[in-house]
Amino acid sequence: MTTYALYIGHMSSFQIQQANLDALCRQFNIPPVIQVDPASLREHFPPVPLQADEAYIVLLGPELKSPVKVARNVLAILPDVSLFFLVKFKTPELMLSLQSPVSALGANWELLELEAPGFRDALTRSFTAAIRKRKFRTTLTGLNRKLQRNTKPKVSELQRYSVSLHFLDHIVEHAHDGIIATTNDGLIVKWNRAASDMLQVDAETAVGCSVFTLLQHGWEQQLRQFYAELTDSDHHASQQEICLSAEGDRNRFLELSLSLIRDHQHNRIGVAVFIRDIT
């Protein structure tokens, strides 16, 4: 994991703390602290999202007039950082401002008094805690990813293809509309449950037969015409109505949507017929 430290504030205040900060960087084996002017924040942050093994510690100088606003600007660029507010002394107003939900700073911040006894030790402890916390989170993230990789079932392309076909077959079989799939010359290759209910022909009987000769009552003449029109036109689909009449029975009106079926090379390999009873 790589940790970077930034000091946001004027160069004059940075130079006062530079010796302490450089010593900390050497102690934790991280790159030297970079001083950043508040007005040029975005110039010092990477143009791409942080990697999982990168962390930022941001120190905000005591001379900032609106430290909470600057901190929010930092979080807008890097949402996961440790913030250290360096102040000459703590004030109730600043504490309330930092702790208020309106500040939107979360819990990853700490207030350090420059004039307090043992300031350097406090800063060292804060650096240590921030780096350890980040290492712990990075380790957890890595373990979770490894666990996900190890527990994810390995599925071959053939298995994926088989599952997809099986799932698609269930979708077609349980569709509300009747669905018939045929070859270019009308040989039935798929006949779903709704088609069986509407046309009173079960799938076992229908599959392998010609869609033109399976039914009587004007079905063949009308359907052949629809197939011919679909083939001769520039359209890939058409919508038609068909009337089935049987002696001693009332006429039935069906709405048919016909669509060309094409392969990956866009060659025509069949026709799909979707049927809805609109009687």
Give pLDDT, residue 48.
46
Comparing 274 with 101, the larger pLDDT belongs to 274
Backbone angles phi, psi at 259, to 5 degrees: -135, 140
**pLDDT, tens digit, for every residue of 184-199?**
888 898 999 999 988 8
| Structure tokens belonging to residue 2 | 């790589």
Q: How confident is the model at residue 50 (pLDDT cuts 50, 70, 90)?
A: low
Query: Which residues sit opposite 14 in a β-bridge?
Result: none
pLDDT at 192: 92
Structure tokens at 53: 């093994």
Q: Please, how many CA atoms are within 13 Å of residue 82, restricted to the half-sphere of its CB?
A: 21
Please state, rounded to an integer, the average pLDDT across all residues of the chain: 80
- The tokens describing 194, both together, are 């709704």
Domain that holds residue 45: 2-151
- Decide if 53 contacts 78 (C-beta within 8 A): no
Report the distance separating Cα 220 and Cα 233, nearest Å: 20
- Residue 146 shares a structural domain with residue 173: no
3-state class (DSSP) for residue 48: coil
Q: Which residue has the tokens 């402890």?
A: 125
pTM exceeds 0.75: no
Give the C-alpha separation, 67 to 93, whole Å. 12
- Those residues whose C-beta lies under 8 Å from the C-beta of residue 141, and which sit 6 or more positions away, are 52
Q: What CATH number is given to the structural domain containing 22?
A: 3.40.50.2300
β-pairing, 268-277 vs 178-182, is antiparallel
Q: Considering its fold, how many domains does the chain have in total?
A: 2
Average pLDDT estimate for 169-178: 86
Question: Does residue 251 sit within a domain?
Answer: yes
Residues 168 and 129 in one domain: no
User: What pLDDT band is residue 141 in, cutting at 50, 70 and 90?
Assistant: low
Tell me what pLDDT residue 130 has: 79
Last residue of a domain, one of 151, 177, 201: 151
Q: Read off the amino acid at residue 278.
A: I
Question: Distance between CA 61 and CA 63 in Å, rounded?
Answer: 6
- 11 and 140: one domain? yes
Residues 177 and 141 in one domain: no
The first and second tokens of residue 273, run together, are: 């017929």
Report which of 66, 4, 75 is spatially closest to residue 35, judged by C-alpha positions: 4
